[in-house]
Amino acid sequence: MALSTLEQKLVGLVAARETELREDLARWVAIPTGGGHTKGLDAYRQIVTGRLSALGAMVRLEPGDQRPDWLNDSPNSDAESTPPPTAVCVAEGDGPRIMLCGHLDTVHDPAGPFDRLTIEPGGQRARGPGAADMKGGILVAVAALEALHAAGVRPAWTFALNSDEETGSYCSDRVLRQVAAGCSVGLVFEPALPDGSLVVERPGSGQFVLEAFGRAAHVGRDFSAGVNAIGAIASRVLEISAKADPAAGRIVNVGVIRGGVATNVVPERASAWGNARFSSAEAERELAEAIDALATSTEAMPRVSVKRSFARPAKPMTPGVERLAMLARRAAEDLGQSLPFGKTGGVCDGNNMQAAGIPVIDTLGVRGGGLHTSEEWIELPSLVQRAQLAAVLMHRLSSGA
């Protein structure tokens, strides 16, 4: 179908703000929101919720839940003692309620040198912390809602803004699922794949830690009295690593091992931290059982304990996801854009939302790449293009087109 007169108006409203959107992005990228930086997260949250409040949304802050204690000791943890809140912004309107979602946090060091948006020669691409993942995406969503409001279109929407997606959304998972359960569809503004593809399938993911407890002894004087905890960990790392079978939808990676104090002391403690990915509920069950089976009884020597959290279920291509993705593709084509479909091994809050029972598409954000590195980049024209797509898509969802 061709763009309606109203949709053409939406397209023009977004296009007229291109310079403003680029200026907004530069300001937002300059706010440090990595590493649990509370001051920056609070400042950024206030800016975004202020824009949404101006559209008539009622804003509330939902307190975050505590992560499992053992995750706070993980090698890549930057968890703060106080879980960050999730902002839930609710606007009344017409049609099925649409859930929008975006995360305020990034992975970038708030004190590092990669701290602002830099426009590359030609003005079509820029680099900056969170420019694509996902400050550009949040800006796309806000701009689309503002265009709809300016055009007199009032879809019913709820926008959830969390601050811990990059560390697993443990603090915000409950809120995300509760919000999703009260909506009909979900739109997440993670960055598109570099070619603009919409991700329609994702695996699930989980974390685990193996801890071994042996008996220390001096290697020269009393070696036979010792029980080597590193040996116990090593054998189990090999055992669980053998369960990896990407073709069957199972990935297991042990990425960090700790243990021992000196080469002449039999180590009494060791630990191994790992990540699991699974393409289905069956693959999740298989990996969960295999990891749990690595534990010993409490009386064993060496003793091995297992702690595990599989917090993001797999996100398959369901009939509902396919219908929503095809609606997005038709809107893109009517805008003169292409919207191929793709898969990724990454996970996001779309996993949690779809687990609550609604169809979700989760890469409606900008085109970019170099995510989680100091080369993170964004295609600047995609700010306007993806905001136009989001505005048309939400209009069609609300009108039943």
Write out pLDDT tens, residues 62-77.
Answer: 999 999 989 887 666 5
pLDDT score of 194: 86
pLDDT for 77 equals: 58
Confirm if 199 and 317 have CB atoms less than 8 A apart. no
Q: Are residues 82 and 188 in the same domain?
A: yes
CA 375/CA 348 separation, integer angstroms? 21
- Based on the fold, state whether residues 15 and 113 are members of the same structural domain: yes
pLDDT of 81 = 65
Q: For residue 272, what is the domain's CATH number?
A: 3.30.70.360
Q: Tell whether 232 and 121 lie within a shared domain.
A: no
Q: How many other CB atoms are found less than 10 A from the CB of residue 375?
A: 10
**CATH (domain of 24):** 3.40.630.10
Whether residue 320 is found in the same domain as residue 236: no
Amino acid at 148: L
8 A C-beta contact, residue 272 and residue 236:
yes
Range of the domain at 367: 5-202+315-399
Q: Which residues contact 81 (CB under 8 A, 6 or more apart)?
A: none
Distances (CA, A) of 134 to 23, 104, 268, 349, 379: 16, 7, 43, 12, 13
Question: Do residues 53 and 142 both lie within one domain?
Answer: yes
Non-local (6+) Cβ contacts of 124 within 8 A are 379, 380, 381
Number of compact structural domains in the chain: 2
Residue 159 pairs with which residues in a beta bridge? 89, 100
pLDDT for 76 equals: 60
Same structural domain, 137 and 241: no
Residue stretches of the chain with pLDDT short of 70:
1, 74-81
- The DSSP-derived string for 23-36 is HHHHHHHTS--BTT
Q: Residue written as tokens 């054998």?
A: 235
291 and 257 both lie in a single domain: yes
Question: Of 312, 340, 366, which closes a domain?
Answer: 312
- 134 contacts 63 by C-beta, under 8 angstroms: no
The pLDDT score that the predictor gives to residue 400 is: 84
Give pLDDT, residue 73. Answer: 76
Token pair, residue 194, equals 């570099």
Report the distance separating Cα 167 and Cα 393, nearest Å. Answer: 30
**Pair 223, 111 in one domain:** no
Whether 95 and 178 share a structural domain: yes
Q: Is this structure's pTM higher than 0.75? A: yes
Whether residue 49 sits in one domain with residue 173: yes
Q: Are residues 281 and 358 in the same domain?
A: no
- Length reported for the chain: 401
Integer CA distances (angstroms), 361 to 35, 59, 180, 239, 322, in order = 27, 24, 13, 36, 9
Domain check: are 66 and 160 in the same one?
A: yes
